[in-house]
A and B are shown apart, each in its own frame.
Chain A
Amino acid sequence: MNTTLIARSNEGDKYLLFAKLDNAKILYNLAKSVNFKEHAVFCALDSGLKISCEDAKSTQGIAFVHTDLFQEYLIKEDCVCIKINLSVLIECLNIFGSIANSIPTALKICYQGYGHPLTLLLEDNGIITECNIKTMEADSLVNFEFDFDKIINKIIIKVDIPASSDYIESFDCKKTQVNRYKVNFIRNSLKALVSSTKVAIRITDSGVMGIQFLIPITELSKMAFVEFYFCPDEEIE
């Protein structure tokens, strides 16, 4: 009995990143909601796992999985960042599919370090799949300088609307703003919108819009976040 416990705690020792998730579907759904570009930056932070997708340096989608959602989560550095093919990651996470009423697919994520592949181990009813996803050097992502003190307008909307309540939970706008955003970029966030219960729309003084989706993880009765940032179109005059 003791040996297995020791073995378990040692298991992650040789990895820079080691995480266990009892239900791979959680990560699958979150990764899918930001899959508007083939490649994404996969970042393991102290607080959790961040998958960021960027398009044309003007829009960003970020899926955040808090460490709470993992059964085990170990990182050796403050920030482990790699670029991976997100579509491949999604196919790998979905390799067993979802058969209703079955035990969820268990997932183990391992990453040894620079130059090594990102290894996913999935287990479903005794069937094991090992996926080695090639890793690339992470691109630097645009910092939208989305600081709280710069936010002027903030609206929180309930997506899941009970009959008696209002659509808008909070409305806190300091001044009238008119910005143009590419509808194609906003469309990227629709997948996240479908599975969310609450949406916060915030706009800074420079016009950068951040939409935050609160996504319930019903299996664990916890929450995950997906964020999208959009730069406004420059007025050509």
Chain B
Amino acid sequence: MKAAVITFPGSNRDGDVAKALKQAGATVAHIWHADTELPAGTDLVVLPGGFSYGDYLRTGAIAGRANIMDATRAHAERGGYVLGICNGFQIVCEAGLLPGILMRNADLKFVCKRQHLTVERTDTPYTNAYTKGQVIDVCIAHGEGNYIADTETLARLEGEGLVAFRYADAQGRVTAAANPNGSQNNIAGIYSPKLNVLGLMPHPENLIDSLTGGIDGRGMFASLMSGKRAA
């Protein structure tokens, strides 16, 4: 699999996600936000975490209008994979690739901690290496992760099975106490209708080595490499 990791001014997780992708077997190209084209044969575009443009205006707002986003949008429309992690999730929402928006955390605090997630379905290109009902232990680090969408959009996401991950406790219980940021329905990540675009606030790329805390993040990268398309 050929991955293109986009670097914006203020991205800071591009190196980590590239490492996770390479570990899983991908070849990785680093692409600058001002570029207008993706390398030929790109399968996966990754928008990494960070603080693009210093979070000015709204998180992800300016990056969402960067040159490379036109090519990224076209890639998604062709059915190509687009993965937005943390600031990348904010960027894909601002770019209109996924609905809704990430607002300031409900308690106004930047939250940086380990977090359990439920894997809502395991028949997608991003989660087929996980087992049904699996609860994974990953990291979150964000100040604006409070997922908000209008009632109609939320009903559509839920109705069409487009919620990818939810914040949960270690037993997989999706409770208000396990919600770190106030997101509606504990939403931690969502898919596009064709399941080729995924945006999520947690950082699976942090959990790829038992030396640094765990390997529950590997499943996402392994899933992508498996070549299984959406069910």
Pair from one complex: no
